Amino acid sequence: MTADFLPGRMQATPLTLRMIFDRMRTIHGDGRVIGHDGTFTYAEAGERILRMARALVDDLGVCPGDRVASFGFNTARHFELYYAVPLVGAVLHTVNVRLFEDQIAYIVNHAADRVMFVDDELIDAVAQVAPSFETVERYVRLAPGDRTGDLPGLLDGDELVAAADPLTDLPDIDENAAFGLCYTSGTTGMPKGVLSSHRGMVLHTFGFCMAGHLGLLETDVVFPVVPLFHAFGWGLTYAAPFVGAELVLHGSDSTPEHLGGLIDQHGVTVAAGVPTIWKQLLPLLDNGTVKGSTLRQVAVGGSASPRALIEAYENRDIPYLQIWGMTETGPAACASRPRRRHAGLDREAILDVKEKTGTIFSGLEARITDPEGVPLPWDGQTVGELEVRGPWIASSYYGDEGAEKFNDGWLRTGDVAWMEPDGYFRIVDRAKDLVKSGGEWISSVELEGEILAHPDVADAAVIGLPHPKWDERPVAVIVPADPGAPPDLASIHTFLADRVAKWWLPDQVVVVDEIPKTSVGKLDKKLLRAQLEHVRLG
């Protein structure tokens, strides 16, 4: 090929978060971020963000590459940090406020955070652990308030913004530079840090907004019930403004009454959160306290949704979309949206589809492998560990810990799945949570889903406990719908008889008032096993 036929050169526009920021404040400047701490148009928020960017540099001495921590809930001020910090080349570290104090101290020191922004209502909590912080130099109140606590030199963020001139000469930033740092929930040891690049989050935003994935529109009102400190709020703080959709932020109040009220008050069309949230909202939808009439979609992730919950929303004409991802997947990576081949299926068959995990997002790849990392066939039956890779998938942990999680460019998710020939897959369990009985695997996730359909069960978890003959057997831990009339083992067996294989039936039912959850709302099976280590089977 001669030079005359070489393709033309394309403009090398860096993929940084400034691209999203500029579009938000200009093209979509009339959109709004609606928070309990204030409502701002995107144009107004853009002005405040540029003022905060100036304050970060001039007042707080933040330099490119510095880590700036946020310790807060879903607020408009927290939203502004999502832009101000990366725009000056620094790294936003969203601290999970629900971690234990020793974990918080560990990740703040591991990240070497220099500045920490704190919600007013969390100042006392931070003051308790602050003496353990080794690198934090300045504390800033994130939202309006008057608490002082025992934080040295506490500054007021609103005062900094009001006094600062907008930083109009933003620095040029390499698209491969880090914009954010988020730590895992630490269910198997201390949390691990995932450092994400500008380029990765921009590409994640492109992918997340696609019609076949989350499918956001400018006319949407998006409600991230998922905490902004959990996996970057699933990326919704970037995805919604990018397309011009409005954002509703609920602060720290996650009660069903408050969430339902915001949905109706602001005409929310797309809401996102863990299954527990949507289960708690159902009684309010049933009794008419919450209408939910504007919802065109609820996006649900964090853990697998039981079929009964999916069906309950579909019966109310509220489409239920399971999405899957991890902190390491940047965060969203898959959606269970029916494909072309599913057209014409009856209602029950469509529920079967929606109960699966779905198809990996465009731009990413997925496969299943055996314990040696060898790829397995996509035949809808063979089970292996799910691995993913792509431009917004982590390739290592911050500090190069956990190298065993990465396999020649692929992230080993720790999830066990099977894949159909066209790539539609279903995660059957976490590898560590499978019940290994008599050489066969029992999916705790699937068994939990069936038990949750029992009318007398409000919540359920399944764990494997040692058995002298079968190695392990499943034990069902349940919260009864009526504390005075809990279902017994016989009732559970009768209900499950035509739903699961006979050898899947739990050996014991343990009734509790509440099932422990992790800081991000997942079942805390590590704690459950510790609580039930006294139980003897066989």
Give catalytic residue positions. Answer: 184, 328, 436, 441
With CA atoms as reference, report the closest residue to 224 among 212, 239, 209, 211.
239
d(CA 91, CA 197): 9
Rounded CA-CA distance 212/97 in Å is 33
SS3 138: strand
- Identify the CA nearest to 122 among candidates 71, 58, 68, 46: 71
HSE-CB at 123 with a 13 A cutoff on CA atoms is 21
By residue count, the chain amounts to: 538
Beta-carbon contacts of residue 3 (< 8 Å; ≥ 6 apart): none
The sheet with strand 297-300 has its strands ordered as: 38-41, 32-35, 246-249, 221-224, 270-273, 297-300, 320-325, 332-335, 359-360
- CB-side exposure of 422: number of CA atoms within 13 Å? 8
| Amino acid sitting at position 533 | E
**What single-letter DSSP state applies at residue 231?**
G
Residue 193 β-bridge partners: 183
Is the distance from CB of 336 to CB of 356 less than 8 angstroms? yes
Residue 271 vs residues 66, 203, 221, 292, 391: alpha-carbon distances, Å: 33, 22, 8, 10, 26
Among the listed residues 18, 108, 92, 97, the one whose alpha carbon sits nearest the alpha carbon of residue 56: 92
Instruction: Give the integer Cα–Cα distance in Å for 495 and 97.
Output: 40
Q: Quick one: which of 421, 414, 387, 309 has its CA closest to 354?
A: 309
User: Residues 12-50, buried b or exposed e (16+ Cβ, 10 A)?
Assistant: eeebbbbbbbebbbeebbebbbbbbbbbbbbebbbbbbb
Which residues are paired to 334 by β-bridges?
Answer: 324, 360
